[in-house]
Amino acid sequence: MKTLFFLLQKEFTQIFRDTVILRMIMAVPVVQLLILPLAADYEIKNINITVIDHDHSFFSRDLTSRIMASGYFRLSGFGQSFNEGFAQMETDKTDLVLEIPPSFEKDLVNGEKGKLFIAVNAINGTKANIGAVYLNRIIAQFNQNIRAEMAPAPKMAALPTIEITNLNWFNKYLDYPHFMVPGILVLLVTMVGALMCSLNIVKEKEIGTIEQINVTPIRKHHFILGKLIPFWVIGMFVFSVGLFLIARLVYGIVPQGSILLLYGFLSIYLVAVMGVGLIISTYANTQQQAMSLAFFFLMIFILMSGLFTPIDSMPEWAKWIARFNPVTWFIEVMRMIVLKGSGFHHIRLHFLVITGFAIFFNAWAILNYKKTS
């Protein structure tokens, strides 16, 4: 116990003396939480559209102005022919080309089918797809309106229509930061745990002090605890700054569920990701190696965590990777507790899994850390 105390005293002295790390601990959560949720927005806006209007009628102008009024589109120009629009697409000046045929209004007035043509630039698949969906919806709405105007009133009343009403649960106004901020908080503590912890140990290998430690009677688990506890505390601190300072004050996110439950899960989660950091540090001999290894794992952990893309739409094999990823579990728990207000019985499985991860990673690291070669 006494040994551990001397180890902790040394670690904290070193960490607080390193102004670069200290500044990083303070600045990183603030900057990341301020920039990412606002910039990495799922909502697709500013879709460039080129309209080829061969009709120049009231209807065609009405449709165009409705599209522009929706707020999703940006008119990149009117064209005389489809080829002209296509040329714009080829030079990436436009994402969508809408072609209105010459007989558009006439056909509609005569009660025949009106035809429209949409060409989509699928290089940026998400943007183009969603743009086409928005456009379809606007055209469908337009269609409804003209049918209502043109069809005789009694006949209209008889037409069966399905009206859809949405109610957004857990994030009433579909506020994007509400969805992202909890996830980004998870990333932050993961970075602190895995990256900083492994770099710290490898640094001792690099400068040679670890050899001095290895000839002392320090017990393996004391040394490892001496490394884990400081970063566990820092992880808790970074999380709290993010949750209470940024999430609450800037984005107005107040956890719906129990804060205690959240911190309970966080404390185990930190042990698990620090285990990953420890494993990395037992394999790497230089900080450069540790950095590369940590980046490799963090990339996979982050991209396969359901933060940016839903896990449900991943292929089956990828879902398995996501399941063996501790980040996935914490992001789920964060969203459940913070947005939904879930209680312990909802996340029992998550607790079990993360405890399993914590034991597995740390046991691996301790077995692999050798004082004697």
- CA 80 to CA 85: how far, in whole Å? 8
- State in angstroms the smallest separation of the CB of 207 from other proteins: 7
By CB under 8 A, residue 211 contacts other proteins: yes
At residue 74, the 3 state secondary structure works out as strand
**Residue (178 or 205) nearer to other proteins, CB:** 205
Candidate residues 71, 217, 310, 315; the one interacting with other proteins per rule CB under 8 A: 217
- CA 8 to CA 51: how far, in whole Å? 67
**Residue (30 or 218) nearer to other proteins, CB:** 218
Segment interacting with other proteins, rule: CB under 8 A, options 4-12, 90-98, 102-110, 288-296? 4-12
**Residue (5 or 170) nearer to other proteins, CB:** 5
**Residue (80 or 212) nearer to other proteins, CB:** 212
**Residue (360 or 369) nearer to other proteins, CB:** 369
By CB under 8 A, residue 17 contacts other proteins: yes
Distance of CA 46 to the CA centre of its chain: 21
Candidate residues 80, 136, 212, 288; the one interacting with other proteins per rule CB under 8 A: 212
Q: What per-residue string of b and e applies to 101-139 under the rule 16 or more CB within 10 Å gives b? A: beebbebbeeeeebebeebbbeeeeebbebbbebbeebb
- CA 148 to CA 172: how far, in whole Å? 31
By CB under 8 A, residue 285 contacts other proteins: no
By CB under 8 A, residue 18 contacts other proteins: yes
User: Containing H/E element for 7?
Assistant: helix 2-17
- State in angstroms the smallest separation of the CB of 213 from other proteins: 8
By CB under 8 A, residue 21 contacts other proteins: no
Class of residue 291 by CB neighbours under 10 A (exposed 0-12, middle 13-18, buried 19+) = middle
Candidate residues 20, 157, 159, 215; the one interacting with other proteins per rule CB under 8 A: 215
DSSP 30: H
**Size of residue set near other proteins by CB under 8 A:** 25
Q: Which positions from 151 through 210 interact with other proteins, judged by CB under 8 A?
A: 207-209
DSSP 103: T
- CA 336 to CA 179: how far, in whole Å? 11
Segment interacting with other proteins, rule: CB under 8 A, options 106-114, 186-194, 213-221, 350-358? 213-221
Phi-psi map region of 59: left, alpha, beta (phi>0 left; psi -120 to 50 alpha) = alpha
For binding to other proteins (CB under 8 A), which residues are involved? 2-3, 5-7, 9-10, 13-14, 17-18, 207-209, 211-218, 371-373
